[in-house]
Amino acid sequence: MAIQLGQKERMLLEDQKKHEEICIKKYNNYAAQASDPQLKQLFSTYAGQEQQHYDTINQILAGQMPGMGQQKGQQQQQMQQAASMGRLPAGSYQNDAALCNDMLMTEKYVSNTYDTAIFEMADTNVRQALNHIQKEEQQHGEGIFNYMKNMGMYQPQ
C-alpha cells in the first residue's frame, strides 16, 4: 500500500527526520564521552533505536508503510537494566550528569514535536507508526530519568 502525503505532512516528517538525525549524533557522541559503562550502553542502545526511527520516517517519506516493534522487548530489557544501577559516590561522573540532562531535555522536546506531527497525519497507519516512535522517545526519557534518579543525579521532589 503506497502512502500519499500532503505538503504539510511531508514538511512535518522532514522535521522529525532532522530531529532523529540529531538524536543519533548526540547519543553516539555522548556514549563515547560517558564515564560510566552502563550509561555508555544506555546511550548506545538509544542511538540504535533513533536510527530505526530515522529509517522508519524515510520509509514513510518514500511512500512505504514500515513494520514496527519487532525488537522492542529485548531493547526495553536492556534499557531497564542500564537504568536500574545504584548510586555513585558524590562528585563522580559530573560530566555524565550533564550529558543526561541534555538528552532528557532533548527527549522531552522530540516527544512533543511528535505529538504535533501525529495529529497532522491523515493516514491512520502513519499515525500509528509515529505514535510507536513517540512512545519509544518517552521510554528513552524515562530510562534517562531513572538512571539519573538511581545515580543520585536528579531529585524529582
Residue holding cell 541534555? 102
The 10s digit of each residue's pLDDT in 40-52 is: 999 999 999 999 9
Task: Please tell me the predicted confidence (pLDDT) of residue 142.
Answer: 97
Amino acid occupying residue 20: E
CATH superfamily to which 8-61+93-150 belongs: Ferritin, core subunit, four-helix bundle (1.20.1260.10)
Task: Please tell me the predicted confidence (pLDDT) of residue 83.
Answer: 47
User: 17, 45, 56, 152: which is closest to 103 by C-alpha?
Assistant: 45
Distance CA 156, CA 6 (A): 42
The 10s digit of each residue's pLDDT in 127-139 is: 999 999 999 999 9
**Angle of helix 7-33 versus helix 124-150 axis, rounded to 10:** 20
Distance CA 111, CA 131 (A): 10
Task: Please tell me the predicted confidence (pLDDT) of residue 1.
Answer: 66
Buried-state track 106-122, b at ≥16 Cβ within 10 A, e below 16: bbeebbeebeebbeebe
Distance CA 98, CA 20 (A): 20
Domain ranges within the chain, ordered by starting residue: 8-61+93-150
The 10s digit of each residue's pLDDT in 62-112 is: 999 887 654 454 445 544 544 444 444 545 578 999 999 999 999 999 999
Contact indicator for 30, 43 with CB cutoff of 8 Å: yes
Residue holding cell 536500574? 84
- 83 vs 155: which has the higher pLDDT: 155
- Predicted TM-score (pTM) above 0.75: yes
Residue holding cell 527527549? 107
Task: Please tell me the predicted confidence (pLDDT) of residue 155.
Answer: 83
